[in-house]
Amino acid sequence: MDRSSIIRTTAWLWLAATVVVLVLGFRQAIFVAPMEATMGNLQRIFYYHVPHAILGLVFPYINVAASLAFLYWRRRDPLKALSADALAVASAEVTVLFAGICLASGMLWGKPAWGIWWAWDARLTTELILWLLYVSYLLLRRFSPTGQTGVLSAVLAVFAAIDVPIIYMSIHWWRTQHPAPVFGGGADSGVDPAMMPAFLLNLAGWAMWGLLLIGFRFALERRRQLAEQEAALLAIEASLETPQ
C-alpha cells in the first residue's frame, strides 16, 4: 500500500473510533449518568460544554507550536515551513470552532440556569476573548497580502498564545458567576464519581473529533498549497518552452 492509502485508511478508522466513543459518551451522558441534584437534567450539557472548553484551550498550543516551527523553517526549509503553516491554520480554525461551541453551549445553559444569556464574569469573558483572538487571527490571514500571510499570522499567533495565560491571570480576581473549578479546585471540589465515565468518554471523543478535524483541514490546506505550487511550476515551465 502506498502512503496516501494508508493515511486514508487510518483516517476512516479514526473516524469510526471517534463515532463509537462519542456514541458511548452520549449514552453515558444522557441515560446513565445520575441526575444532578439542583439543576436536574439541564446539567447534562456539562458533558459537552466542559470538554469543548478544555479542548478550546489545548488547540491554541498546537497553533503556536506550528507557528514557531514555521518561523524557524521559513528560510531554512520552505517546504517544511509550508506544512507548519497549514497546521497552524487548521488548529486555529478548530480552536475557533471549539471555543465557539463552548460559548454557545454555555449560553444555552446560562439562560435556564441563571435566567440570562450572558454575564461578564471571568470565565465567560476569558473564553470570549480567546474566541476573538483567534477570529482576528483568521481575519489577518484573509487581509494580509499574498506571500506574507504565513509570517504575519505566525507572529500574531505568538502574541495570542502569550495573551491566553495573561487573560487567565488577570481575570482571576474578577467577580464571578460561573461555577468554580470542579477539578483541582478547593477541598470540596470534584464531581460525583458516577459522572466521571460520561465526562471522560466525552472528553476523549471530542478530543479525537477535534484532532480529526485538524487533520482533515490540514490535508485540505496542504492540497491547496500543492495545487498552488503546481500552477506556479506550470507557469514557469510553460514559458521555458517558448523559443528564446
Partner 1 sequence: MKYARYVLDHLKKDLRLEWRSRDSINGMLFFVLLVVVVFAIAFDPASYPTMARQISGGILWVGLLFASMTALNQSWTREQRNQVLEAQRMAPSPASALFVGKALANMIFVLLVEVVLGPIFIVFFNLHVLGNAWLLALILPLGTWALVVNGTFFAALGLRARNRELLLPLILLPLSLPAVLMMVQATSGVITGDLDPIQIRTWITQLAGFDIIYTTVCVLFFETVLNAE
Partner 2 sequence: MTAASLDSASKIYGTFAALRNATATFPMGTCTVILGENGAGKSTLLRIVAGLITPSRGTATVFGGAPHKQRRRVAYMSHAPMLYDELTAMENLKYFSKLHRSEGCDCAGSPEMALRAVGLDPTLTRPVGQYSQGMRQRASLARVLQTDPELLLLDEPFSNLDVKSSQHMVELLADFRTWPVAGGSARTIILTTHQASLAEPIADRTITMRQGQIVDTAVRQPA
The footprint of ligand HEM (CB under 6 A) covers: 46, 49-50, 53-54, 102-103, 106-107, 109-110, 113-114, 123-124, 127, 178-179, 181-183
Give the range of 60-68, 126-134, 197-205, 233-241 binding partner 2 by CB under 8 A. 233-241
Residue 211 binding: pick among partner 1, ligand HEM, partner 2, none (C-beta 5-8 Å cut-off by kind): none
Give 144's DSSP letter: S
Identity at 32, one-letter amino acid code: V
DSSP reduced 3-state for 30: helix
Q: Which stretches within the chain are classed as H helix? A: 3-27, 46-76, 78-114, 122-143, 149-171, 196-241
Q: Which residues bind partner 1 (CB under 8 A)?
A: 71, 107, 116-121, 125, 128-129, 132-133, 135-136, 139-140, 142-145, 147-148, 151-152, 155-156, 158-160, 162-163, 166-167, 169-171, 173-175, 177
Query: Among residues 147, 184, 186, 193, which is the contact residue for partner 2, using CB under 8 A?
Result: 147
Per the CB < 8 A criterion, the answer to whether 130 and 60 are in contact is yes
Q: In this complex, which beta carbon is closest to ligand HEM, that of residue 178 or of residue 222?
A: 178
- Rounded Cα distance between 71 and 69, Å, is 5
Q: In this complex, which beta carbon is closest to ligand HEM, that of residue 189 or of residue 229?
A: 189
Query: Among residues 23, 182, 226, 232, which is the contact residue for partner 2, using CB under 8 A?
Result: 232
Query: Among residues 1, 37, 239, 241, which is the contact residue for partner 2, using CB under 8 A?
Result: 239
**Half-sphere exposure (CA, 13 Å, Cβ side) for 80?**
11
32 binds partner 2 (CB under 8 A): no
Annotate each residue in 43-82 with x if it binds partner 2 (CB under 8 A) or - if it does not, as one string: --------------------------------x-------
How far is it between the farthest Cα atoms of the chain? Answer: 83
Query: Among residues 4, 38, 41, 244, which is the contact residue for partner 2, using CB under 8 A?
Result: 244
Q: In this complex, which beta carbon is closest to partner 2, that of residue 192 or of residue 228?
A: 228
- Rounded Cα distance between 150 and 131, Å, is 20
Residue 240 binding: pick among partner 1, ligand HEM, partner 2, none (C-beta 5-8 Å cut-off by kind): partner 2
38 binds partner 2 (CB under 8 A): no
Counting other chains too, the contacts that 114-118 makes at CB distance below 8 Å and 24 or more residues apart are 114/177
How far apart, in Å, are the Cα atoms of 99 and each of 31, 53, 60, 74?
Answer: 26, 6, 10, 29
Give 193's DSSP letter: G
From 157, 202, 171, 183, select the one nearest 61 (Cα to Cα): 157
Per the CB < 8 A criterion, the answer to whether 127 and 99 are in contact is yes
Residues lying near partner 2 in the complex (CB under 8 A) are found at 75, 146-147, 228, 231-232, 235-236, 239-240, 242, 244
